[in-house]
Amino acid sequence: MFGEEKSVGVAVLGLGNVGSEVVRIIEDSAEDLAARIGAPLALRGVGVRRVVADRGVPVELLTDNIEELVSRDDVDIVIEVMGPVEPARKAILSALENGKSVVTANKALLSVSTGELAQAAESAHVDLYFEAAVAGAIPVIRPLTQSLAGDTVLRVAGIVNGTTNYILSQMASTGVDYETALADASALGYAEADPTADVEGYDAAAKAAILASIAFHTRVTADDVYREGITKITPADFASAKALGCTIKLLSICERVTDDEGQQRVSARVYPALVPLKHPLAAVNGAFNAVVVEAKAAGRLMFYGQGAGGAPTASAVTGDLVMAARNRVMRSRGPRESRYAKLPVLPIGMVSTRYYVNMYVADEPGVLSLLAAEFAKRDVSIAEMRQEGVADEGGQRVAARIVVITHRATDAALSETVAALEGLDAVHRVASVLRLEGNSE
């Protein structure tokens, strides 16, 4: 049916879980993809680190010469799924400079080099698609760039890392500590051998930078995103969360903040937070992801599904491939980078939210009033303060566990308060500080 149509040549860089699945979809769904595009796809080559047989792809398609592959005249679209930042950045720039449209799932690269790559795509009049860079198969990028293009996005918040969500879900449901939940995630293949990028929030921060850039028409990099990980979360925190009608999730939050003078800024942050059980994100468990978008006219929209894995990510990559290939056939282009707003990034110290403070203090009279005074000195209003158990040694009570819930306060004021508390002789230690999100009180 498409015999007279010129094929759209495709090069795939990387043959791991995602790359292998992309190649499989291109081959197994060739007829359907051709019908959707208006021309057949032709796999021209697969870039790998080492050319060896038995990779599930004819060996003649494999090459370790990435530069040559992305500059071939018969390649129209380059799919980059090899990571990390380098050599992917060099390969993508070379592809764009050679007039190839690019589809990538590389969130680490995009979070630091979006502007450079977007400019290269603009100069070459080609497409740069990256739906798979955030939340795997969940369609988030395209709704923000296209479906909501006529609306004003106010906030994008979600769970965008499956590893940490699995760990926190296990802690919530079974009562185990962080180390045990991490070991379970590793045994099931949800956590990498080195889980630092996930558990310390770097992966989620990279995705937050991408989402904030798109939602607010402003270039935001990973360095602009405030980040905290989940390694200090304890079973005691989950017990307190349950008593408050909450659970704990690692959230990526991007929002448009308007001050009293009408000045707009962008806030992008990643941290573990208490989330009310009635909030839709509280029910997102296991390795699943979800993103809630709030827009002025559209209201609240939620996107939910598998955020990682070879097949889900390959689904998003292939969706971008179809869009880029269709544009080639139609001699058109997809949406360009939108950065006209150029909003400044709000420092974390100016971000206002509610807080949960868990501390161990001397079990003696007058301590509670001493603690309350330190909060009052910095205008941090206490909504609730209660004792939630004691620590003992040899049958002797040596410390009381105190939990404080605040009203809304700035991060700077809360940080100063915590520093002051830690300097008190009556305070043995401040065990944890968490934000409360999804509740406007």
Where in the chain are the domains?
8-136+311-330, 140-307, 348-436
Q: Is the pLDDT of residue 28 over 90?
A: yes
Mean predicted confidence (pLDDT) in 162-181: 96
Pairing verdict, β 41-47 and 62-63: parallel
Higher pLDDT, 375 or 261: 375
Domain over 348-436 is classified CATH 2.40.110.10? no
Q: Is the pLDDT of residue 424 over 70?
A: yes
437 is in an annotated binding site: no
Beta-carbon count within 10 A of 72 CB: 16
Helices and strands (H and E) in the chain: how many: 14, 17
384 is in an annotated binding site: no
Q: Is the pLDDT of residue 1 over 50?
A: no
Decide whether 140-307 matches 348-436 in CATH topology: no
pLDDT bracket for residue 394 (50, 70, 90):
low
48 is in an annotated binding site: no
Q: Identify the pLDDT of residue 3.
A: 46
Mean predicted confidence (pLDDT) in 102-110: 95
Q: Identify the pLDDT of residue 52.
A: 87
**Residue bearing tokens 């007039």:** 99
pTM given for the model: 0.92
pLDDT in tens, 119-164: 999 999 999 999 999 988 889 999 999 999 999 999 999 999 999 9
14 is in an annotated binding site: yes
pLDDT in tens, 315-374: 999 999 999 999 999 999 998 999 999 999 999 999 999 999 999 999 888 999 999 999
Task: Determine which one of 100, 207, 278, 342 is catalytic.
Answer: 207
Q: Quick one: tokens of 192?
A: 């990498």
The answer to whether 207 is a known catalytic residue is: yes
pLDDT bracket for residue 396 (50, 70, 90):
low
Report the topology of domain 8-136+311-330: Rossmann fold (3.40.50)
pLDDT bracket for residue 2 (50, 70, 90):
very low
395 is in an annotated binding site: no
Q: What CATH architecture applies to the domain 140-307?
A: 2-Layer Sandwich (3.30)
Least confident stretch, 17-26, 46-55, 59-68, 195-204: 46-55
150 is in an annotated binding site: no
* Summary mean pLDDT of the chain: 93
CA distances from 378 to 124, 373, 411, 419 (A): 54, 9, 11, 12
107 is in an annotated binding site: yes
